[in-house]
Structure 1
Amino acid sequence: MLHYFGQQQGEFGPETNPLEPWMMKLHGLVLIPALLGIGGMFVAHIPKGWDHVHQRVAGIALGAVLSVLIASGYMLYYVGDEALRAWTSLAHWGLGIMLPAIFLWHYLNGLLVRRRRTRPKRPGAAGVEQTAR
């Protein structure tokens, strides 16, 4: 965000915001535990939750976005072609902005599905036997 919207006007035109290099370093530092957590999802969370059919679309969407973010982050670091780098940067930035919303969708959908499963059935409802009075 600082790269696109945080530039300051300097003596010779727009200049990089002084916080931008530090934010990039912080972004790279946070990447390490995030990748470990994503790897953990493939070992524990995804196999355990794959039977929850109502969560699959949101989970696959979240996994796809995370995969593209990882690939585009790698490309930003290692691809030298400036035209490809510009498109990769835009995709990485846009998906990064969307990630919290997709995560929230997956999380809230999981809460909703769990709440429906644990809700006690009311007496007299279809499929619930009534007790004799």
Structure 2
Amino acid sequence: MSFLIRVIVNALALAVAVWIVPGIHIDAVGDDTLGLVVSYLVVGLIFGLVNALVRPIVSLLSLPITCLTLGLFTIVVNALMLALTGWLTRFIPAELIIDHFWWDAIAGTIIISIVSAVLGLFVSSDRR
């Protein structure tokens, strides 16, 4: 159940990033609302899988430069994960499009992180 909640949180964070950042778009499966919701959920699922599988490896390999920049390189790593999600979604009907890496992906990453953190406060976790 927590995996499904995490996918929904990712989808909502992506929706806010698409709404705020003009250089990030999601091509929906259909023109109706259901197609748009399914597209956001599928892209949120792929984004969650990329963050769960690829991000720890990239974070470990970039640990020296992250320490050198006092953690600011983490924003670039997160933007790379968003760009990787965009590349992976090229092969499915619901596609995440990022116009420019530097401004759009960085701004989208910051917005997604803030929205995920805020939504994470409202989602109850069963960890003790």
When normalised by structure 1's length, the TM-score is 0.31
> Which has the higher relative contact order, 1 or 2, with Cα contacts under 8 A spaced 6 or more apart?
2
Larger Rg, first or second structure (1 or 2): 1
